[in-house]
Structure 1
Amino acid sequence: MGLKITLKPGERMIIDGAVITNGDAKSMFIVENRVPILRQKDIIKEEAANSPARRIYFVIQLMYIDQEQHAQYHPRYWELVKEFVQAAPSSTKLVNEISEQILKDQYYQALKLTQKLIRYETEILEHVQKSTLSIPGR
């Protein structure tokens, strides 16, 4: 049996590079073969890739949905993760896990791990912001 997907009215998704928008009613269908699928909640548009971790996610997303051309995105990925780890060395373990998935062409799993990286980045930035706000004279 394939992957059963239920879409809310107006919900979008990408199936093997094609953007699909559901109509006015809830619908359910089954994808019977293995193809890249991303639901709307997992898609980041380029203009929303506005932080280092989100840019990493966006590049992996391109690898996943454009599998014929995925190799062209690899240099940008390695550049972005190198910069990220330099700025946040504590992220090394998670970045290594993501990279392992990339090397195994497991892009969906890499995206899921990168969602953790985005949450981690948010925590770091919130901590820095709180620390900056608590400095006397600010």
Structure 2
Amino acid sequence: MPLKIELKPGERLLIGGASIRNGPRRSSFVIETVTTFLRGGDIILESEADTACKRLYLTLTVLYLAEPTPEAEDLFVRQANALMAAAPSMAPYLRDIHDRLAEGERYRALKRCRDLIQYEQSLADRLASPGEPEP
């Protein structure tokens, strides 16, 4: 079934390995074949991956957009293990991400990693304000 996508001016879209950026006007197009893609809001650039969870998200992006390689899968495992060692409270998120990958649901793994990035930010916020009680 074809999928119609509308892009805002300047919005980015990744389709497979191709990066597309819309021009100055809103535009729409139709994807007629089954393929993987990410819209602008789901894309984290390498230069923006300034935390461990964002770097994990980049690895998951590679696993989602490209055919998974043993190297990318090994990198995911190493990153996940390092995160779990540093912050054991991240284990439920990492387990969910791993389970999604094992089930072949790579986009859902990406979405769960967005939750992990938010959790990582909440931990950083708490460390920055140690005197405040937890919500």
* TM over 0.5, shorter chain: yes
Structure 2 equivalent of residue 126 of structure 1: 125
Q: Render the CA deviation track for 1:50-95: whole Å, top value 9, x for unaligned.
A: 111101101001111222x533201111011111111111111111
Structure 2 equivalent of residue 41 of structure 1: 41
Q: Render the CA deviation track for 1:85-134: whole Å, top value 9, x for unaligned.
A: 11111111111000111222322111100000000000011111111xx4
Contact 1:56–1:77, Cα closer than 8 Å, also in 2: yes
Q: How does 1:1-138 map to 2 (within 5 A)?
A: 1-67=1-67, 69-131=68-130, 134=131
**Which protein has the bigger helix share?**
1
SS at match of 1:50: coil
Task: Give the TM-score normalised by the residue count of structure 2.
Answer: 0.90
Tell me whether 113-122 or 55-64 shows the greater mean CA deviation. 55-64
- Separation of aligned partners in 1, 2:6 and 2:70: 32
- Separation of aligned partners in 2, 1:2 and 1:116: 29
- For 2:73, the aligned partner's letter is H
Question: How many angstroms does 1:36 deviate by?
Answer: 1.0
Q: Render the CA deviation track for 1:2-30: whole Å, top value 9, x for unaligned.
A: 22211011211111111111122111122
- For 2:47, the aligned partner's letter is E
- Separation of aligned partners in 1, 2:91 and 2:21: 37
SS at match of 1:30: strand
Q: How many residue pairs were aligned?
A: 132
RMSD of the TM alignment (CA)? 1.6
SS at match of 2:5: strand
Uncovered stretches (5+) of structure 1, i.e. residues with no partner: none
Uncovered stretches (5+) of structure 2, i.e. residues with no partner: none
- Separation of aligned partners in 2, 1:4 and 1:113: 25
- Separation of aligned partners in 1, 2:9 and 2:123: 36
Give structure 1 regions of 4+ aligned residues with deviation exceeding 3 angstroms.
none
